[in-house]
Structure 1
Amino acid sequence: MSEHAHAIAYATLSDDELVVLARRGQHEAFRHIMQRGNQRLFRVARAVLNDDAEAEDALQDAYTHAFEHLDGFRGEANVLTWMTRIVLNEAYARRRRRRATVDVAHIEAAQQDEGRVLAFPSRFGIEDPATHVARAQLRELAEHAIEALPEPFRVVFVLREIEGCSVEETATALGIRAETVKTRLHRARRLLHEALHDSLAGALADAFPFLGPRCARITEAVLRRMGAGVAPDGHAPPGR
């Protein structure tokens, strides 16, 4: 790696600054973009595909596509929202190849408006260590309940309640109206409440944890595709 590349403090740069460098072929800049978005984007892909391995593959393909088309990023939304759209397109394409598309209108029409809505919080405070084992068990139940949601509701729930995205950001990422986001979130919450006890809410913050090894595996795989290679110090060489 050149002295110039070593001198760049990538971690201190804004997303827009990283995009500028990545457009110039700086693979290390794109590595940092991926690392900042990995958890959300993996969760989004998994929300569509309901499979860890396929979600990883979809994310790698989406990252490769995003790097090759960075010139198409116009800054109308932040780069993470732009990449969320790319990941969703890849995940939906894979799902279409795998099975027929869910009839969203039919699912929504079948739902009744009655019933209490449980407003699951997105973030939680530090718990008593004695509850750790029970929390892990509850989290597993929560993950299964989320997986069982119809896909349109599941994706909105993951973005809004697990990732903490705003209504507007979620609507932009999914290409739907803000009111549709609110409606689907309302129904997702109700479906989960029907399946789970109120105490399960405490498990959601850690659902589908994005562990360090997965983060490293995805970023390194994408960098290899880009022909970057990995130096002995763990860094990719600078771009052209």
Structure 2
Amino acid sequence: MAGAALLEQARQEAWSDEQVVRRVLAGETALYELLMRRYNQRLYRVARAILRNDAEAEDVMQDAYVRAYQHLANYEGRAKFSTWLTRIAVHEALARSRRHSRFQSLDNEEESKGRVMRSLASAGRNPEEAAYDRELGGVLEQAILKLPEDHRVVFMLRDVEGMSTDETAECLNLSPENVKVRLHRARAGLRKDLYARAGATAAQSFELHAVRCDRVVNSVFKELGLQG
């Protein structure tokens, strides 16, 4: 069966990861694309959370997929395929981070601001709502990137990707209790940062801008029959 037709069949019949893996190992290698497209977002997010750099995150994704393909026969199914794959990406990203010995400064990341949280914008939003979603996503991303690495990665896997405590623990070689502690601290750190940002701008909230002020005044004068 041609690659495109095979991919379409897999999508239509909602083949599980394990089904796809078995068929890839049996020689239907075109199906590996399906696995990559299923987990591109997750791998990007976890790599980006560790490395804080778009280009580096993409490199890690590619390395992780290559390594996973080369060792696909070693996947035994004891954990979910998604967990196994994510663990490979985490290890690749951490190894790259250690080689660099330090993270890229946040000051050099303006061009990629908001990408990690891009999924906050939902379909069907009007332009004003979409712009607000992008702005909110940028604020959240900056707050997430300020977290310590060990808290940041746990937050991304648990609260952004929706992985369970046990899956996250397996990906990061942590105990479930450690995952819970780090997640609690990550959420506390985000609350503190976001509340600080909100407090700094609270005085500008719900401002009555000049155009609206004029409109109200003019409407009242018109209703009362007064001359301005």
Please, what TM-score do these two structures have when normalized by structure 2? 0.71
Q: Which residue does the alignment assign to 1:67?
A: 69
Q: Which residue does the alignment assign to 1:176?
A: 174
Q: CA deviation at 1:29?
A: 1.1
Equivalent residues in 2 for 1:147-186, closer than 5 Å: 147-186=145-184
Q: CA deviation at 1:131?
A: 3.6
Q: Which residue does the alignment assign to 1:55?
A: 57
Give distance in 2, aligned partners of 1:21 and 1:128.
39
Q: CA deviation at 1:128?
A: 7.2
Q: Which residue does the alignment assign to 1:17?
A: 19
Q: CA deviation at 1:197?
A: 3.3
Q: Which residue does the alignment assign to 1:30?
A: 32
Q: How well do the aligned residues superpose, as a CA RMSD in angstroms?
A: 2.8
Equivalent residues in 2 for 1:77-156, closer than 5 Å: 77-99=79-101, 129=126, 130-156=128-154
Give 4+ residue runs of structure 1 displaced > 6 Å after superposition.
122-128
Structure 2: stretches of 5+ with no match in the other structure: 104-118, 199-228
Look up the equivalent residue of 1:162 and give its one-letter code: V
Give distance in 1, aligned partners of 2:70 and 2:122.
40
Q: CA deviation at 1:98?
A: 0.2
Specify the SS of the correspondent of 1:74: coil
Look up the equivalent residue of 1:158 and give its one-letter code: M
Cα displacement string for residues 207-227 of structure 1 (whole angstroms, at most 9, x for unaligned residues): xxxxxxxxxxxxxxxxxxxxx
Specify the SS of the correspondent of 1:75: coil
Look up the equivalent residue of 1:28 and give its one-letter code: A
Give distance in 1, aligned partners of 2:121 and 2:168.
21
Look up the equivalent residue of 1:145 and give its one-letter code: A
Cα displacement string for residues 98-128 of structure 1 (whole angstroms, at most 9, x for unaligned residues): 0069xxxxxxxxxxxxxxxxxxxx9898897
Mark the CA change 1:127 to 1:182 in structure 2 (over 3 Å): closer, same or farther. farther
Q: Which residue does the alignment assign to 2:226?
A: none
Please, what TM-score do these two structures have when normalized by structure 1? 0.67
Which of 179, 186, 189 is the equivalent residue of 1:188?
A: 186
Structure possessing the higher relative contact order (Cα contacts under 8 Å, 6 or more residues apart): 1
Percent of matched pairs sharing the same residue:
42
Specify the SS of the correspondent of 1:196: helix
Larger Rg: 2
- Number of residue pairs matched by the alignment: 179
Does the CA-based 8 Å contact 2:3-2:30 persist in structure 1? no
Bigger helix fraction: 2
Q: CA deviation at 1:27?
A: 2.4
Q: CA deviation at 1:134?
A: 2.5
Give distance in 2, aligned partners of 1:183 and 1:3.
49
Deviates more, 1:133-142 or 1:164-173: 133-142
Give distance in 2, aligned partners of 1:185 and 1:76.
25
Q: CA deviation at 1:97?
A: 0.4
Does the CA-based 8 Å contact 2:121-2:133 persist in structure 1? no
Q: Which residue does the alignment assign to 2:202?
A: none
Give distance in 2, aligned partners of 1:127 and 1:74.
41
